[in-house]
Structures are given as C-alpha cells and as structure tokens.
Structure 1
Amino acid sequence: MNEITVEIWTDVVCPWCYIGKRRFERALAAFDAKEDVRVHWRSFELDPAALRVTDETIPERMLRRQGIPPEQAAELLAGVSAQAEAEGLEYHLDRARPCNTFDAHRLVHHAGTRGLAETFQERLMRAYTAEGVSVGDHPTLLALAEEAGLDAAAAAEVLAGDAHAEDVRADEDRAARLGVGGVPAFVIGGRWSVSGAQPAELLTGLLERARTGATA
C-alpha cells in the first residue's frame, strides 16, 4: 500500500483547530488503512503581529477589537466550547490568552525531529484552550515542551536562536500557494483539501479517496 500523506495546518491559539484535531483522530480511527497514513503538522499564524506575552483574554480582545460586549462574547465562546465538549474536550476560553505563536510553531518543528510533533501540539492546544496559559511565553513553552517529552536544554537552544524559522515560513508560504486562508486546514494525499473543523466522516471519506485514487 502506498503512503497517504496528510498535511494539517493549525495555529495553537485556534480553538477550532483542537476540535479539528479530535475529529481527524476519529476519522483516522475509522480508516482501515491507518497504518499507511503519515501526518505532517504545518504552521499557520492567525495573528503574526500579536504580542508574545500578554494578559489579555479572548473576551477582552473581542471587546477591544470588535466592540463585542462581554455577554455576547460569553455566548459565542459557549457555542465553541459546546462543540469541543462533544469531542471530549474541556474548554475555558474565557481564560485563554491569544498571543504570538511563531516560537511555538518553531518548537513544534523541533518536536517533529524527535517524533513528538503530535504530542507537543496536543499539549500546547490543551494549555491554551483549557488552562489559560500564554503559549508565547518562553518559560511556559519550555515547561510544556518538557512535559511533552522534549529535552529542555535542546528546546531552550531552539528558542534562543532562529532554528526552524524557515520551516515555519515555508509552511505558511505553501499554505498561501494552496489558497489556505484559515485553519484548521487539511490536505490529504496531496490532492484533496478542506478547511474548518470538518466532520470525521467527511475526513474519513477523503482518506478513502486518497487510498483509491478516486478523481471525484
């Protein structure tokens, strides 16, 4: 059986990306050739100009940027949290702090060289959506990296320099060429692409297409 490549563009500070990750995991579990699937995590920054360290929460940013009052923000975030709960995730988005994720993405690439990209992605997403952790802060990133099984000294060396910066930019350039404008985004078998936290059944269907080489 030929290898099926799945590229997944995400941003750590995208609540829908964690939901999309869970739905893809369900899709993969339902796919009977899962051993042939190779997942590649790709970088995408929703807000490249964001501060690396901030105490501003999502509701506070919604008020500042869009004029959305706290009551309406709470209602909108509750809807996202309900979708997350359906996937077995516990969100506390009222505490989530959007921040610059460039260094987090660099560390994900570093984790990939150790076979821990998915594990580290999972830890970052949970920290952001459930724990109110600022995932742009270097000490926090190092602690999360160590929890995910990465060597702390090696991770610190990555953050101290510009290692994997070109990898992050390459992912973002590829996303632009493919027309990816939002995340999560999935490119399956190099031919089938879909954006958003799509139902697991749809993703399983795309995996089946990739396996059979279907053209429709």
Structure 2
Amino acid sequence: MTEPIKIDIWSDVACPWCYIGKRKLENGIEAYSSDGEALPVEIEYHSYELSPETPVDFEGDEYDFLAAKGYPREQLEGMLTRVTSIASDVGLDYDYDHLKHTNTVKAHQLIHYAKAHGRQLDMKERLLKAYFVDGRHVGHVSDLADLAAEIGLDRDDVIRSLEADEYLADVRADQAEAQRLGIQGVPFFVLDGKYGVSGAQDAAVFADVLRQVQASRVEVGA
C-alpha cells in the first residue's frame, strides 16, 4: 500500500485565517485527489496559541481585542469586512458580532483528547465553527464538553480530562516543535515532513504542492 502524504498543520482555534486555510486545503486536496494517480492524504493538527495571554473571560468585542493588540480602530472595520468576505468565498459565514474571545489552551487540549479517540479532524472543525460562526464559547470546560458531546465524545470524560490538564504536555510539545521549526504565524502546513507552506494559500497552491511532493517521491524511488 502506498504511504499517504502526511500534512502536519499548526493552527489556533481563534485564528480566522486558520479556518479559511482549512477549507482551502480541503479544496486543494479534493482537486489533487481527482488526479488518477493521486496518493492518499493524512492530516494531523498541532497546537499553536496566537494570544496565550488572553483571559478565559475576555471583556469586550472584536474591536476591543484588536485595538488592544495595537491595530488602529479606524482600520478595523475594513479589516474585518475583508476577512469576512474571504471566508464567505470558501463557504464560511463569520459572525464577528457574536464572537467570544477567550484563551484557547483548553480547546487545544480537547483537540488532543479527540485525536486520542480518533476524532481529531471532527473536533477541530466543530471548534472553529463554534468560534467563528456560531458565537459559542470555547474557553470554558463545560462549553467545550458540550461541543465534544455533539460529535459523539463522552462529555463526562472530556470534563475529567480537561480539568486534569491531561493533554497539556502534548499542547506544549506542539508549541515547542513550532518554535524549533521557526514557525512564527499560523496556519502553517508541513507536507511529508519537509515541505512548508505558510498561510491560507489558494486551493490550487495546495494541489500543486501535493503533486510536487508526489513527484519528488518518484524521483527518489519512494
């Protein structure tokens, strides 16, 4: 059986470009997979916190959050309109009016929990949609457990895991690996352990990189 192309993705739940990049990657994989000789693709998500200092209960809206980060308030409306438009182009209905800023370390632990139970990709998708589209809180243990239960995970066991910080070491290991690789922003994609793609590139870019990875395997006799 041909070895799949592995895509490791560093991403944050609270990153608008990460959700957009996820959709563009998925579309790129679909385009690549339509090739007759395409290889299977395997995806794994890794933790990256853009704003680890954010409190679980942030007081304020998106404008307050970005202004505190140093963005001029007079530019924010245009920025958010642009991001919302780009998200819409890939079928995502961002709702910044109801978005709830929070610390994402527990959400990252939940993604690792879901990985251990074979549901990482489903959990990642649910968390991103909850945050950017549904206006749900993704920082409280009880809210995270509700979202986990929606995809079929054991709510009580999720609470146990998150309250015990069962997967915090895994989150920190992902972050340490990002630092080792020199990753300074997300989304960041590593294909086959050696090809890096930074940012929410167009689907065609991902499809082309996948074809290049496959071609490079043929060249080295993989």
2:45 matches 1:41: yes
CA deviation digits over 1:172-214, x for unaligned, max 9? Answer: 1111111111111100011110111011111111111222226
Distance 1:102 1:82 in 2: 28
Aligned equivalent of 2:6: 5
Deviates more, 1:51-60 or 1:8-17: 51-60
Shift of 1:35: 6.0
Q: Any stretches of 5+ residues in structure 2 without a counterpart?
A: none
Q: Which amino acid aligns with 1:15?
A: P
Cα pair 1:9 1:185 within 8 Å, conserved: yes
2:129 matches 1:129: no
CA RMSD of aligned residues (A): 1.7
Residue of structure 1 aligned with 2:80, choices 68, 77, 80:
77
Residue of structure 1 aligned with 2:149, choices 125, 142, 146:
146
Deviates more, 1:201-210 or 1:57-66: 57-66
Distance 2:175 2:49 in 1: 8
Cα pair 1:9 1:41 within 8 Å, conserved: yes
Cα pair 1:54 1:134 within 8 Å, conserved: no
Cα pair 2:141 2:163 within 8 Å, conserved: no
Distance 1:27 1:34 in 2: 12
Distance 2:18 2:208 in 1: 20
SS in 1 for 2:82: helix
Shift of 1:34: 6.2
Cα pair 1:103 1:159 within 8 Å, conserved: yes
Distance 1:41 1:67 in 2: 29
Structure 1 residues 155 and 35 mapped into 2: Cα distance closer, same or farther (>3 Å)?
farther
Structure 1: 4+ residue segments shifted above 4 A: none
Matched positions, count: 214
2:168 matches 1:165: yes
Residue of structure 2 aligned with 1:91, choices 89, 94, 119:
94
Q: Which amino acid aligns with 2:98?
A: R
Q: Any stretches of 5+ residues in structure 1 without a counterpart?
A: none
Deviates more, 1:129-138 or 1:107-116: 129-138
2:57 matches 1:56: no
SS in 2 for 1:213: helix
Structure 1 residues 67 and 109 mapped into 2: Cα distance closer, same or farther (>3 Å)?
closer
* TM-score between the two structures when normalised by the length of structure 1: 0.93
SS in 2 for 1:157: helix
Distance 1:34 1:57 in 2: 44
Shift of 1:94: 3.1
Aligned equivalent of 1:155: 158
Deviates more, 1:59-68 or 1:42-51: 59-68
Q: Which amino acid aligns with 1:42?
A: H
Q: Which amino acid aligns with 1:13?
A: A
Shift of 1:97: 2.5
Aligned equivalent of 2:212: 209
Structure 1 residues 65 and 193 mapped into 2: Cα distance closer, same or farther (>3 Å)?
closer
Structure 1 residues 79 and 2 mapped into 2: Cα distance closer, same or farther (>3 Å)?
same
Aligned equivalent of 1:18: 19
% same residue: 36
Structure 1 residues 106 and 59 mapped into 2: Cα distance closer, same or farther (>3 Å)?
same
Aligned equivalent of 2:32: 31
